[in-house]
Structure 1
Amino acid sequence: MPRRPAGPGARGRPAIVAAMNQGGAAARPNGIARWPEMHPTTQAAFNRVLWSGGLPRTEIARKLGLSRTRLTAITRDLEEAGFLVEGGREQRSTTGRPAEMLHAVTTAYQFLGLHLHGASVTAALVDLDGRVVWEDDAALGTDSPEELVELAGRMLREVSEAFRVAAVTICGPLARVGLDSAAARIRAIDDSLRDRFEVEWGLPLWVDDDVIALTAFEQWPRLGEGQDSMVLISVGEEIGFGLVTHLAIMRGARRAAGRFDHIPVVADGPECPLGHRGCLWSVCSTTAVLHAVPGAGSLSEIAERADSGDPLCAAVLERAATGLGTAAGHLVNLLDPHKLVLTGESHTVLRNRQSAFDSALAITRLGGGEIEIDLQEFDFVEWARAAAALGLYRCLAPEPF
């Protein structure tokens, strides 16, 4: 595939360290530059403006509990550093009067993400608004983790000719138990390799689980107002889970929370490679679905055949949708989340079979009110986008990750 662009304060401590040159953001500076160190309150003010799509100074002060004098100093520093710009006036319900808006300069920095699946790598570069501005893919020739890290360096060099890059993140099936050959390769990227990358390029290299990255991308800051919990289920060759409570991703004592793909969901289902009969993986993973339909080349083909009246394909996908709904119901019982996100190949499994999912979810759930369900279409660029966004979020607020 050809590379292409896609469409509170401490006295004496500077608010922004190693900031951008004044006025540079508007011209979309290029190169390799770490995200500047900001005072926590300054960073919080910028984050509020960024996530809100623009805010007046009065609302920033109200949300953060800042005095007018303190806020004036913070926003001045951010404007001089090229992170904020004034633009337009909007009617605000809080005051009833038009207010001068501050907007984040979303082109100020970009973040590179690589997603590893099998021996293939998909890469994406996102801006501060999470928009993909460049993407690429590549194939690895060996199982060496050094090759993957070197590929990240080459991609970084390329994109830095046109963009200012602040961090690099590599994601893959780090925490899941399964058959993806990418798991061993990504787990082999140790501290010495990351340190070597940082010395050579001057940027952090973060390595994390791809479902954690996707969960962060969906959860922070995209949960709706008043929501603080979420369950994410990603259907693919393996099935991944992201769990969020109190706006924090649950990672577990060994950073392996969310291994839920082998929970029994069908009494008379097939056996998975780990010896579980009727588990979610055995009926809903794309690997298992393809195995259940001899000669099928893809999940999309099976879905098309099911829609055309093929009884085997229809039965296999009906079972997958039912299993997915059952697993989702158990997770909803366990965590009582505000939101349920179904991603990966979930949309293909549930195409024309949403009722089977809904029925299994309702049967399994033990009471509770309405839950928001977000069913998404997805591709490998979205995985890379989530990896890049994880780097962005770690720069904006390292603590949750």
Structure 2
Amino acid sequence: MDTKVTCLKNNIEFAYKKNSNTPRVAFYLNFSLNNPLPEPGVYSLMVRLFMQGTKNRTAQQLSEELDKYAIEFSSELKLDYIKFKFVCLNEDFSKALEIFEDIIKNTTFDDFDKERAKLEGEIVAELDSPRAKVIDGYYKNIYEGHNYGYTNTVILENLNNLKKEDVVNAYKTIVNDSKKVAAFVGDLEYDDVFNQLDKAFGDIAPSVKELPDLRKPVLDNEKNIEITKPDMNQAHIIKGWIADTANSDDYPALALLNIILGASGLSSRLFLELRDKKGLAYVVRSSYDIAKLAANFSIYIATEPKNIDVSLKGFDEEIQKIKNVLVSEEELENAKNNIFGKWAFIGETNSQQANWLAHYGINGFGFDFQESAKERIKKVTPQDIMDCANKYFNEKSVTVILKP
């Protein structure tokens, strides 16, 4: 069934899709993050506190009630929005929505100090992972000076400066001044779902139609960063560039370029050349990481410390090859089929489908993004891939090396 898009009485866009004969429904509600942005860590703490109690329920009561009805609830911070969701049995939709409404409208942000201490401990533990540490260094530098660069190390430096009122005030700002998008997928009738949602959330602050012109991240020069971690026996390297995002003309070629270089597993060029032929890599791959305002394209390898220089040379060789030699029609067709297969796989469940609808909607990519993108991807030529590689793989890059 096609997706039906309407609006609640306060202009919250609502995407509805009926999937018959499915036992569980999924509902997502996203709030955009607009300027002015709070200090690093405010949003990260905020999303941890929604389960700590409301004006009507203690944290224990919330937990017990969700368990009783087997309701899966979560709140999650993304780069451009905060995501709330629940998944429940069809017959428990009304109960799940009632609890969900209570959390959204009446959360108390209790246990602030306890959750801040827990977050600090979790960040420290996560940064003990070499891969997490090098990724942190990469994002902090490629998005330096922008809130996209609020990585764990940045948050950790600021965490003890935060107060509960910072979180409370930031949440009020989000609710009162944000674009809001809702998505439902499951086996319930549209009128029933819409009426319940309109009653639950039609009275919150209207969804903002015109968002502020947010500043995009910019990378003006080449950066090379080395991080040492003495207790390691591996080296981790990431090299990346700022790229255009999903609403650009270059998106289809960038997505395919990622598949060809390193996002298709055993058949990708980086895997075949740097792991299979040269034996350099434990892990090697590329990534095209999309946000609303910008994206970044990166290549990553985990290798022995003695192979750092030859790995960097291998990166450059593969980049030069795709900039100067047209990919074959067969390789391009395989990449297209790979993308379409992945999209089918990550869109099988009601929850996955609702998640993507709400994601595309809140970022302004369009609820029909996958359908339109698929048609655009089909038209990409080998020359488009070469042109794209030459446009984005330039000297304005960030290279982060983590080594013993």
Indicate the TM-score class for this superposition, using the shorter chain for normalisation.
under 0.3
Which structure is higher in RCO with an 8 Å CA cutoff and minimum separation 6? Answer: 2
- TM-score of the two chains, using structure 1 as the length reference: 0.26
Please report the TM-score for the alignment, with normalisation by the length of structure 2: 0.26
